[in-house]
């Protein structure tokens, strides 16, 4: 039962039960007062906690925004770029969410805390003051009555009348105060129902608004989340393929490391212990150095390096070798030692120690010592063993039989082409298909002896067994380049053009296979083989680098992208000729060339991705370029992206160091001009991404000179278009263009600057040289070798 009502008539009786009811009302108000006081305290704690949470969320968002993923290689896939940008998207999402939380925290103060404090102060406080007055008047009234009743009846009538009047007035004042207090008690009991609950309603409305805003943000974020999940799944699938390739290469190198050494510009390089002589009492010490030797220049570089001290590099030394002598154990109490004498330091001889006798023999061979070994440090690319599969009539028969069986029996099988068959069965089927006698007897469409997964595995195995991948070693690098940068349209155009540069048989077989894969992708709801999944399966099958390295395997994801482009654009690529507008030659220009892309240029903030430009240099006459050994020529053929037209084109700046060179800067469509006639050279083709003429390209590493009118059509000097030798050692060079360095490791110079001790750098397309006593990197296409 609730509180009993306080009747006004009871104020005059002031019975004990009336007083009990008043005390019940007062106790309830006191409980309400304490509750509101605690609620205000909890509300303030809630606001403080909300602000702390908001600060922590903002700090978390700030950390997400500042972190950037590094990647292996020289480019990222679109999926990786989206994943990289996702942290900033998460940061922005949290930032927007915390802005709404901050609004909610402010509304809590205004809509809950302040109204409750006001109610407690003005309403409950007023009742407390009324209670004090009521208690005081009660004490006064009944004290006066006791005193009055104690008066003697013998007092004078006038005195008694005056006392009666005073008591009556006091009693009337007490009744009025009692009436007001009772009214106030009942009023506050009713008022608290809305004065207290209304701020609570406003508080929850603010909370609902906050959560509604969060819901709206989540709805806006949902589309991005779905796309990001696809990006993550694609990247995970590519990772699985890349990991298996890396592990396979690791196992190959583990079994035979000598056959997988990478080609190097140094004749010999590796760790040697060098004896450092000290004053007599201290004897000598042996310090580990990383040593590099170029035989052509007889130049020896040694750099102290100790792994156990955190891998700190010391100050290196350079000297020129005079002679090398093997040390025998009867002359030194250490094994595997030899002496080297410096030509530029008369009388100076260094004693070095190899890690083993075999390594000492290799160093002696490289340094021209007496001990020699038949194999050297560097190795050429080891050709892949040719399989029995051939790109001939039998090969087309195998392809068509397998495709027909798959489309008839298993087009809807889940995991088609990803689920592999039993190895022994696959080999048996492939052997029967490749045998002229048994090929026609194999019935793949109606026979239950061959599972669909066995047929798909046999098809993939046939393609992998070809002596050369279907998309050729020659065009491998050219196919990879557009997958790394540029707009989607430019990528399709580039792949479209390159497919038509394939040999006719390769293009025909690729057409048949990709058409089939397109059909497979159309049934992806049943077989779960999306275009991305098919790219993961067939990227390594259709494309392979000629040399197996980790760097090449890191490009595996771009091979997958190329296959995805083929599948998604099959009709355009194989049924229409390439767009002729992309084959226009460019005009002659006096602008300096673009510096080659630096592999190590990833310090600090990430730079904007370069616009993909394929620079196809002029084909040189026989006398214009040195005759390079076949194994040293670039894998990208000159004809891979050149036009068959016999007319020649003018050149937009000097060519890069390679015949196919990816520039870091794109031109605008305003640079196109008519070709310059020349009968002895084929045209240079520069392929640009589709972009507006007002769209700025990535700026080059140097400030180009002011524009000049185009010169008259003339034949290009061979000194400009001549390709520098593959290996430059101890040469001089003169700058033909000015350059401003972007990094401390690069050199700045003006036209005519002479560089000393120029040699090939490890950075592709760059040279190392000395200018005014400072050594650094020089763009190879900015200088002329003397």
Residues 338 and 422 in one domain: no
The conformation of residue 187, written as its DSSP 8-state character, comes to: H
Mean pLDDT, residues 196-224 taken together = 87
The answer on 543 and 397 residing in a single domain is yes
Grouping H, G, I as helix, E, B as strand and the rest as coil, residue 337 is: strand
* Count of the separate structural domains present in the chain: 4
Tell me the two tokens of residue 460: 């993939």
Is 197's pLDDT higher than 90?
Answer: no
- For residues 41, 44, 50, 55, the Cα torsion angle rounded to the nearest 10 degrees is -120
CATH code of residue 471: 1.10.555.10
What is the arithmetic mean of pLDDT over 688-702?
35
* Helices 531-542, 452-465: inter-axial angle, 10-degree rounding: 40
Torsion over CA: 179, 182, 185, 191 (sign)? negative
Q: Within this chain, do residues 20 and 159 fall inside the same structural domain, yes or no? A: yes
Tens digits of per-residue pLDDT, 456-501? 999 999 999 998 999 999 999 889 988 887 788 888 999 999 999 9
Residues 527 and 417 in one domain: yes
Determine the Cα–Cα distance for residues 583 and 323; give it in Å rounded to an integer.
Answer: 55
Confidence of residue 606 (pLDDT cuts 50, 70, 90): very low
- For residue 628, being part of any structural domain is answered with no
Task: Please identify which residue in the block is written with the tokens 């003429």.
Answer: 693
Give yes or no for a contact between 8 and 22, defined as CB atoms under 8 angstroms apart: no
For residues 106 and 183, membership in a common domain is answered with yes
Q: How far is CA 599 from CA 544, 664, 667, 740, in A?
A: 22, 12, 22, 18
Helix (H, G, I), strand (E, B) or coil at 690: coil
Range of the domain at 285: 268-367
**Alpha-carbon gap, residue 776 to 650, rounded angstroms:** 32
Collapsed DSSP state (helix, strand, coil) of residue 339: strand
How far apart, in whole angstroms, are the C-alpha atoms of residue 278 and residue 287?
A: 12
Name the DSSP class of 381: P
What's the pLDDT at 593?
52
Task: Give the integer Cα–Cα distance in Å for 393 and 385.
Answer: 22
Phi, psi of 678 (to 5 degrees): -165, 125
CATH of the domain at 292: 2.30.29.30
- CB half-sphere exposure, 80, CA atoms < 13 A: 21
For the segment 335-362, the average pLDDT, to the nearest whole number, is: 87
Q: Give the separation between CA 656 and CA 676, rounded to whole angstroms.
A: 20
Which 3 state secondary structure label does DSSP give 372? coil
Q: What percent of the chain has pLDDT over 90?
A: 17
382 lies in some domain = no
Could you tell me if 192 and 311 lie in one domain?
A: no
Whether residues 499 and 554 share a domain: the answer is yes
pLDDT score of 281 more than 80: no
Residue 726: what pLDDT?
Answer: 52
| Most confident range, picked from 273-277, 572-576, 625-629 | 572-576
Residue 546 lies in a domain: yes
Work out the average pLDDT over 82-88. 86
Position 391 scores a pLDDT of 85
What is the structure's pLDDT at 141?
84
pLDDT of residue 569: 94
Residue (of 488, 507, 410) closest to 450 by Cα position: 410
Q: Count how many Cα atoms sit within 13 Å of the Cα of residue 520 in the half-sphere of its side chain.
A: 33
Residue 711 clears pLDDT 90, i.e. is over it: no
Partners of residue 615 on adjacent β-strands: 661, 686
Q: 64 CB contacts (<8 Å, ≥6 apart)?
A: 87, 88, 90, 91, 94
What H or E segment, with its residue span, contains residue 19? Answer: helix 16-66
Within 10 A of 395 (CB to CB), how many other CB atoms are there?
Answer: 20
Domain C-terminal end among 558, 575, 592: 575
Answer yes or no: are the C-beta atoms of 653 and 589 closer than 8 Å.
yes
Name the nearest CA neighbour of 738 among 775, 762, 706.
706
Residue 277 sits at φ, ψ, to 5 deg, of -80, 140
Residue 73 lies in a domain: yes
DSSP 3-state assignment of 676? coil
Phi, psi of 686 (to 5 degrees): -115, 120
Give helix 16-66 / helix 157-195 axis angle, nearest 10°: 30
**pLDDT tens sequence across 390-433:** 888 889 999 999 999 999 988 999 999 999 999 899 999 999 99
Q: Average of pLDDT values for 45-65? A: 90
In this structure, are strands 766-771 and 774-779 parallel, antiparallel, or unpaired? antiparallel
Give the CATH number of the domain where residue 754 resides: 2.30.30.40
The count of other CB atoms within 10 Å of the CB of residue 187 is 13
Residue that wins the pLDDT comparison between 384 and 565? 565
SS3 at position 385: coil
- Within a domain: 604: no
Mean pLDDT calculated for residue range 62-67:
88
Strand pairing report for 660-662 and 299-306:
unpaired
Instruction: Please state the rounded mean pLDDT for residues 361-390.
Output: 59
Beta bridge partners of 319: 300
Same domain, 49 and 190: yes
With cut-offs at 50, 70 and 90, classify the pLDDT of residue 594: low
CA atoms within 13 A on the CB side of 342: 17
**138 and 43 part of one domain:** yes
pLDDT of residue 332: 82
The model's confidence at residue 311, banded by pLDDT at 50, 70 and 90, is low
Nearest to 558 by CA among 13, 72, 60: 72
3-class DSSP assignment, residue 289? strand
Domain contains 689: no
Contacts by residues 676-681 (CB-CB < 8 Å, ≥ 24 positions apart)? 676/588, 676/648, 676/649, 676/650, 676/713, 676/714, 677/647, 677/648, 677/713, 678/647, 678/648, 678/715, 679/646, 679/647, 679/648, 680/621, 680/648, 681/618, 681/619, 681/620, 681/621, 681/648, 681/716
Same domain assignment for residues 361 and 416: no
Q: What is the pLDDT of residue 617?
A: 31
CA-based torsion, 542, 548, 553, 555: positive or negative = negative
Alpha-carbon span 735 to 783, nearest angstrom: 4
CB 259 within 8 A of CB 376: no
Mean pLDDT of the chain: 76
Q: Tokens at residue 39, please? A: 């609620």
Residue 373 has pLDDT above 70, yes or no: no
10 Å Cβ neighbour count for 203?
Answer: 21
Q: What residues does 660 pair with on adjacent strands? A: 616
Distance CA 666, CA 11 (A): 97
Query: Domain with 35 in it: what CATH number?
Result: 1.20.1270.60
Determine contact, residues 767/783, Cβ cutoff 8 Å.
yes
User: What mean pLDDT do residues 316-330 have?
Assistant: 85
pLDDT at 574 over 90: yes
Q: Which one of 350, 367, 384 terminates a domain? A: 367
Whether residue 366 has pLDDT greater than 70: yes
Give me the mean pLDDT over the 112-140 stretch. Answer: 88
pLDDT at 370: 62
pLDDT at 283: 59
- Per-residue pLDDT tens digits for 667-677: 333 333 333 33
327 and 440 share a domain? no
Q: Which residues pair with 313 in a beta bridge?
A: 305
For position 638, what pLDDT does the model report? 32
Residue 766 located in a structural domain: yes
Alpha carbon distances (Å) from 691 to 55, 274, 493, 671, 729: 43, 57, 13, 13, 41
86-111 as b/e, with b when 16 or more CB fall inside 10 Å? Answer: bbebbbebbebbbebbeebbebbeeb
Tell me, what's the pLDDT at 207? 87
Q: Worst-scoring range by mean pLDDT, 62-71, 616-625, 760-769?
A: 616-625
Phi and psi for 274 in degrees, rounded to 5? -110, 130
pLDDT the model gives residue 784: 86
d(CA 373, CA 366): 9
- Residue 629 within any structural domain of the chain: no
Instruction: Report pLDDT digits (tens) over 609-628.
Output: 333 333 323 233 333 333 33
pLDDT at 347 exceeding the cut of 60? yes
Residues 119 and 193 in one domain: yes
Name the least confident of 383-392, 607-616, 764-773.
Answer: 607-616
Let me know if 676 is exposed, middle or buried by CB neighbors in 10 A (0-12, 13-18, 19+): buried
Q: Which two tokens stand for residue 33?
A: 């007062």
């Amino acid at each position: 039962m609730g509180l009993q009502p306080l009747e006004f008539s009871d104020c005059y009786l002031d019975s004990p039960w009336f007083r009990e009811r008043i005390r019940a009302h007062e106790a309830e108000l006191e409980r309400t007062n304490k509750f509101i006081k605690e609620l205000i305290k909890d509300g303030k704690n809630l606001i403080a906690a909300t602000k702390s949470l908001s600060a922590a969320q903002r700090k978390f968002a700030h950390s997400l925004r500042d972190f950037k993923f590094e990647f292996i290689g020289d480019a990222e896939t679109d999926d990786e770029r989206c994943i990289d940008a996702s942290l900033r998207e998460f940061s922005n999402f949290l930032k927007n969410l915390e802005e709404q939380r901050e609004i909610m925290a402010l509304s809590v103060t205004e809509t809950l805390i302040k109204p409750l404090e006001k109610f407690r102060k003005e309403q409950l406080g007023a009742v407390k003051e009324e209670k004090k007055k009521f208690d005081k008047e009660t004490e006064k009234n009944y004290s006066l009555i006791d005193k009055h009743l104690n008066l003697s009846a013998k007092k004078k009538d006038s005195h008694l009348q005056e006392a009666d009047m005073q008591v009556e007035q006091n009693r009337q004042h007490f009744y009025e105060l009692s009436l007001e207090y009772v009214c106030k008690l009942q009023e506050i009991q009713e008022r608290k129902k809305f004065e207290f609950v209304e701020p609570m309603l406003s508080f929850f409305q603010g909370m609902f608004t906050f959560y509604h805003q969060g819901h709206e943000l989540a709805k806006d974020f949902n589309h991005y989340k779905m796309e990001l999940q696809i990006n993550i799944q694609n990247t995970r699938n590519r990772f699985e393929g890349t990991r298996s390739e890396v592990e396979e290469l690791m196992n190959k190198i583990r079994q035979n490391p000598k056959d997988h050494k990478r080609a190097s510009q140094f004749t010999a390089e590796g760790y040697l212990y060098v004896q450092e002589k000290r004053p007599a009492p201290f004897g000598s010490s042996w310090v580990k150095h990383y040593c590099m030797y170029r035989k052509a220049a007889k130049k020896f570089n040694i750099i102290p390096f100790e792994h156990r001290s955190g891998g700190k590099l010391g100050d290196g030394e350079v000297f020129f070798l005079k002679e090398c002598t093997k040390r025998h154990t009867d002359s030194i109490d250490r094994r595997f030692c030899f002496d080297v004498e410096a030509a530029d330091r008369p009388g100076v001889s260094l004693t070095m120690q190899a890690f083993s006798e075999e390594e000492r023999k290799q160093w002696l061979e490289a340094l021209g010592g007496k001990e020699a070994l038949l194999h050297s440090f560097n190795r050429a690319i080891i050709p892949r063993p040719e399989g029995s599969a051939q790109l001939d009539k039998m090969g087309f028969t195998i392809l068509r039989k397998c495709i027909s069986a798959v489309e008839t029996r298993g087009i809807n099988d889940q995991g088609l082409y990803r689920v592999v068959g039993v190895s022994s069965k696959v080999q048996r089927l492939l052997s029967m298909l490749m045998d002229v006698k048994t090929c026609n007897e194999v019935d793949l469409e109606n026979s239950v002896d061959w599972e669909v997964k066995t047929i798909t595995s046999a098809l993939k195995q046939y393609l992998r067994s070809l002596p050369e991948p279907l998309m050729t070693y020659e065009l491998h690098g050219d196919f990879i380049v557009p997958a790394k940068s540029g707009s989607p349209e430019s990528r399709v155009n580039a792949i479209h053009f390159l497919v038509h540069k394939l040999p006719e048989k390769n293009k025909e077989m690729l057409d048949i296979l990709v058409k089939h894969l397109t059909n497979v992708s159309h049934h992806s709801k049943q077989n779960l083989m999306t275009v991305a999944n098919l790219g993961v399966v067939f990227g390594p099958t259709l494309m392979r680098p000629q040399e197996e390295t980790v760097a090449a395997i890191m490009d595996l994801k771009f091979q997958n992208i190329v296959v995805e482009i083929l599948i998604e654009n099959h009709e355009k690529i194989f049924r229409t000729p390439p767009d002729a507008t992309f084959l226009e030659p460019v005009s002659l220009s006096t602008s300096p060339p673009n510096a080659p892309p630096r592999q190590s240029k990833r310090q600090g903030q990430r730079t904007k991705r370069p616009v993909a430009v394929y620079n196809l240099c002029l084909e040189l006459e026989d006398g214009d370029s040195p005759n390079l050994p076949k194994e040293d020529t670039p894998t990208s053929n000159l004809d891979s992206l050149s036009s068959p037209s016999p007319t020649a084109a003018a050149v937009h700046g000097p060519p890069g160091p390679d015949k196919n060179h990816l520039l870091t800067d794109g031109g605008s469509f305003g640079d196109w001009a008519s070709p310059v006639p020349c009968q002895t050279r084929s045209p240079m083709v520069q392929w640009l991404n589709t972009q507006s003429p007002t769209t700025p390209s990535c700026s080059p590493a140097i400030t180009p000179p002011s524009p000049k009118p185009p010169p008259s059509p003339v034949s290009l000097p061979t000194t400009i278009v001549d390709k520098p030798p593959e290996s430059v050692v101890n040469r001089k060079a003169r700058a033909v263009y000015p350059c401003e360095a972007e990094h401390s490791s690069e050199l700045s110079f003006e036209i005519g600057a002479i560089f000393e001790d120029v040699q090939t750098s490890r950075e592709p397309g760059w040279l190392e040289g000395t200018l005014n006593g400072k050594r650094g990197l020089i763009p190879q296409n900015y200088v002329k070798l003397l």
